[in-house]
Amino acid sequence: MLDLVIRNGRVITGSGNPWFRADVGVKKRLIIKVGSLSDDAKEVIDARGMVVCPGFIDLHDHSDLTILANREADSKVHMGVSTTVFASCGSGAAPLNEAMREEVRREAPFLKEAGVEVDWSTMEEYLSRLEDGGLSINVAPLVGFGTVREYVMGMEMRAPTKAELEAMKREMSKAMEAGCRGITTGLRYDPQSYAETGEVIELSKVVAGYGGFYTSHIRDEGDRGDPLAAVEEIIRIGREANIPVNISHFKVLSKRFWHLAPRLVEMVEQARAEGVQVTADQYPYSASGTGLQAWIPPWANEGGVEELVKRLNDTETTKKIKAGLAVSMEDRGGPENALISSYPLDPKMVSQNIAQVAKKWKMDPLDAGIKLLRDHLEAITSDRVKGGFSIVNFNQTEENIELIMRQPWVAVGTDGRVHSPAGVLKTHIPAPHPRFYGTFPRVLGKYTRERGVVHLSEAVRKMTSLPAQILSLRDRGLISPGSCADITVFDPDTVIDRAGFTPAEATMRYPEGIAHQVVNGAVTMRDGEHTGARAGVVLRR
Ligand SMILES: [Zn+2]
């Protein structure tokens, strides 16, 4: 007797082959039979007209902390995700020292509200914390380069000493021994940006020694001035550390460099032809979520928010900040393409772009941007408001998104976080980027069914066996006897994302067409309803 049988579906195995009609039989945690099954089963799902495929794997995610506040992983389960991957962009939740724990408590106040005590230090302790209490999805853990660097040398904006480098190597080893599957870096961000390539190579060699891979928010996605050098750098890391490398959320951010996308793709092809194992992941949105603070010159942010407020109140300094803002505003598509998605000081601003605000205020758009930022920061530092000032920036082209999506070595990743329209995350992260809720159904609906960018079986491969291969998950990502029973059932005719950029409620809208979800043999979503099952595990290396 089977525990579960999914009958009459169109099975897409995840290998890239087109669908075939079959039943899928599950016993305990495994798929044990695929075919025309006459076995009895304790539980039956009728999948007539639906696609039955492996559970989706979210190759790029930032759920290190939010998943502790929402172990049901609502936003993921409703998208059909059965396995997620974090840390990302170099920044994770372990190892932590006391100063870092204090920072986590401050930056993630939802943890306290959810009754989560931030008391772990090592990667081993953090992963155990994930396991204790259960999770509705699996987690494939990575170790954050920025986190290890901060653990060893604080926020120092310099190269490490020899002793510090050795200490970082030891921490990398410990994290890999605790079960991490690779290293993530965010070389775009301070102080990780102060690491030279050689430092990154040294640490990546340690990870390579454990069979791990390297994934990176590269040094420059077009927002700094030289995206070609950034892709060259990650290829060099792959070659010299002898490690598979993955470009996180592959994209070209600024108008100035949009035309370079075909060159960047070609560079990856070339490297692969030479034997460097390069892959990438991508989210299917032309807008990224950001804040104006990231658009002004880095020196203006030095010394923290208080210093920035002082500078914004000094006429001469403000002129210089404005000159920097002018350049990045132009690169990012102008004030029309900067949509306000959250502004706690005056929620009426939400859904307007900076050009519209400027018009209303009868101001130059740059002055309006500066005023929005200054007013917000003053309100934050004097504790008058809580929460962030966020901008949705339409800074990529559809053409480039589709070009990147067509590459066989590009997987899917949300760059999101576990989120839920109910509970503490709703109030603490009130305007999530729609990719948190919509990434996978959007690739299947908009880009596959509507636009025909890739074939359906190819889209599924990018969400299943490809990321499984990148993560060295040998027993997931395929519908085949012996594989772990992570299964998603969706309607290919209706599947689509429903989350929008604004207002806040619409950002948390579940997609349509994802019907059922099985994680390690447990039905975790049935007819679009989360069952509360917590069958997920930490997929230690
Ligand atoms: Zn990133």
pLDDT in tens, 232-279: 999 999 999 999 999 999 999 888 999 999 999 999 999 999 999 999
Give the Å distance between the CA of 362 and the centre of ligand 1: 35
How many CB atoms are closer than 10 A to CB 519?
A: 29
Q: Give the per-residue pLDDT at 132.
A: 96
- Measured in whole angstroms, the distance separating CA 530 from the mean position of its chain's CA atoms is 22
Structure token digits, residue 230: 């950034």
Tens-place pLDDT, residues 425-471: 998 888 889 999 999 999 999 999 999 999 999 999 999 999 999 99
pLDDT in tens, 152-165: 999 998 999 999 99
Could you tell me whether strands 213-217 and 182-186 are parallel, antiparallel, or unpaired per DSSP bridges?
A: parallel
Tokens for 215?
């994934």
Query: What is the rounded average pLDDT of the residues 503-519?
Result: 92
Q: Which DSSP state fits 116?
A: -
pLDDT of 90: 97
pLDDT band at residue 387 using 50, 70 and 90 as cut-offs: confident
Give the pair of three-digit tokens for residue 113: 């509200």
**pLDDT the model gives residue 429:** 86
Residue 483, pLDDT > 90, answer yes
Distance 221 CA to ligand 1 centre (A): 10
Ligand 1: centre distance to CA 186 (Å) = 6
User: Ligand 1 centre from 464 Cα, in Å?
Assistant: 21
Confidence of residue 304 (pLDDT cuts 50, 70, 90): confident
Q: At residue 85, what are phi and psi to the nearest 5 degrees? A: -130, 120
CA of 242 to the centre of ligand 1 (A): 23
- Mean pLDDT (whole number) for 46-72: 98
Residues 395, 337: contact at Cβ < 8 Å?
Answer: yes
Residue 342 pLDDT level (bands cut at 50, 70, 90): confident
Going by C-alpha positions, the residue among 301, 283, 284 that lies closest to residue 292 is 301
At CB < 8 A and 24+ separation, what contacts does 107-111 make? Answer: 108/65, 108/66, 108/428, 109/428, 110/65, 110/66, 110/69, 110/424, 110/425, 110/427, 110/428, 110/429, 111/65, 111/68, 111/69
Beta pairing class for 287-290 and 529-530: unpaired
Identify whether the C-beta of residue 101 lies closer than 8 Å to the C-beta of residue 119.
yes
The residue assigned the tokens 């692969």 is: 272
What per-residue confidence (pLDDT) applies to 340?
92
Would the pLDDT of 326 be above 90? yes
Cα of 433 vs centre of ligand 1, distance in Å, is 13
Task: Using the predicted structure, report yes or no on whether residue 505 has a pLDDT greater than 90.
Answer: no
Give the model's confidence band at 405: pLDDT under 50 very low, under 70 low, under 90 confident, else very high: very high
Mention every residue, 6+ apart, whose C-beta is less than 8 A from residue 260: 222, 227, 228, 252
Quote the pLDDT of residue 305: 87
Q: 51-65, 78-92, 297-311: which range is least confident on average? A: 297-311
Q: How far is the CA of 89 from the centre of ligand 1 (A)?
A: 5
Mean pLDDT score across all residues of the chain = 96
- pLDDT band per the 50, 70, 90 thresholds, residue 184: very high
Beta strand 182-186 pairing with 143-144: parallel
Q: d(Cα 531, Cα 245) in Å, to the nearest integer?
A: 37
